[in-house]
Amino acid sequence: MEAPITFTSTGFWRGVRRSLPLVAGLSPFGFVVGLITQHHGLNVVQCMAMNAFVYAGASELVALANWTHPAPILAAAFAALVVNLRFALMGPVLAPWLAGIQTLPRYTSLAVLVDHSWAISVTDMRNGGRDFGLYVGISVPLWLGWMAATTAGFLSASTLNLPPHHPLFFGALAAFVALLVPLWRGKTDILPWLVAAGVAVTVAYAVPHTSWYIVSGAISGCITGALLETKRHE
C-alpha cells in the first residue's frame, strides 16, 4: 500500500530552495514579456492582471503577437489556447498527488501550474515522492518572481529600446530547453522526443505564423511514448 499524500513544511521549503535558480533563470523571460506588453499599449494594471491570471509566458507572447487596436479578443484567446493545450496533457500526470488534495487547494494549485514546477514535481513523484508541499514551494516563488520580472520589464520599457535579435530575447527559448534535463529518463525517451521535434518542425514550415506546431509536436510525442510503453508491457 502506497504512503498517503502529505503536505509538510519540510517539503515546502525544499521546493522553495529548488525554485530559486528557476526564478533567476525565468526573470529574463518575464522581463521580455513585460517589455512587449508595454510596447503593445497595455497599462501597468493590465500588464499585472494578465501576468497574474494568465500566468503563461509563451501563450502571452503569442497573444501579444496577434494584438492590434482594436484588440482581436477571439483570435488572441484562441492563439493562447493552442499554446496552453499542453497543460491538458501535463495536469493529469500530477493526478497521484492532486487526488489526495481537497478541491479548492487542488484547483488553486493547477492555476499556478507551469512547466518548471511540473517538471521537477513529476521527477520527484517518479522517484517515490509523496509530499505535495514540494510543488507548492516551487510554484509560489515562481509566481511571485514572474510578477516582479514582468512588472520590472514593463516599467523599464520606456528607457530601453532593444533590437529584435537582442540576446535577452533568447531567455524564453533557453528556459524551455533547460526543462528537458530533469525529464530525461534514458534511451527510451529518444524516439518520442525525435518524433515530437520532427513533427513540430514540419508543421511550423507547412503552416507558418500559427501555433499548431506546438500542439502537433506534443500530441505526436505523447502517442509515440504511449505506444512504446504499451509494447514494452505486452
**Residue 70 neighbours by CB distance under 10 Å:** 5
**Residue 221 neighbours by CB distance under 10 Å:** 22
What distances in angstroms separate CA 152 from CA 47, 111, 158, 161, 171, one per listed residue? 11, 23, 11, 15, 16
Q: Give residue 139's pLDDT.
A: 92
CB 68 within 8 A of CB 199: no
- The backbone torsions φ and ψ at residue 6, rounded to the nearest 5 degrees and listed phi first, read -125, 165
Longest distance between any two alpha carbons in the chain, whole Å: 61
Q: What is the pTM of this model?
A: 0.69
CA 187 to chain centroid: 25
d(CA 75, CA 133) in angstroms, rounded, equals 37
Domain boundaries, the chain: 9-183, 185-234
**How do the pLDDT tens digits run along the chain, 234 residues long?**
566 777 888 989 999 999 999 998 888 888 888 888 887 778 899 889 988 888 887 777 777 766 666 666 776 677 677 677 778 878 888 887 777 777 787 888 888 888 888 888 888 888 888 888 899 999 999 999 999 999 999 998 877 776 666 676 665 566 667 667 766 777 888 898 899 899 989 988 898 776 677 778 878 888 898 888 887 776
DSSP of 137-186: HHHHHHHHHHHHHHHHHHHHTTT----TT-GGGGHHHHHHHHTHHHH--S
Q: Give residue 79's pLDDT.
A: 67
Q: Give residue 2's pLDDT.
A: 63
Q: Give residue 176's pLDDT.
A: 64
136 by Cβ neighbours in 10 Å (0-12 / 13-18 / 19+) ranks as buried
Cell of 10: 519540510
Q: What is the DSSP letter of 211?
A: S
- DSSP bridge partners of 131: 6
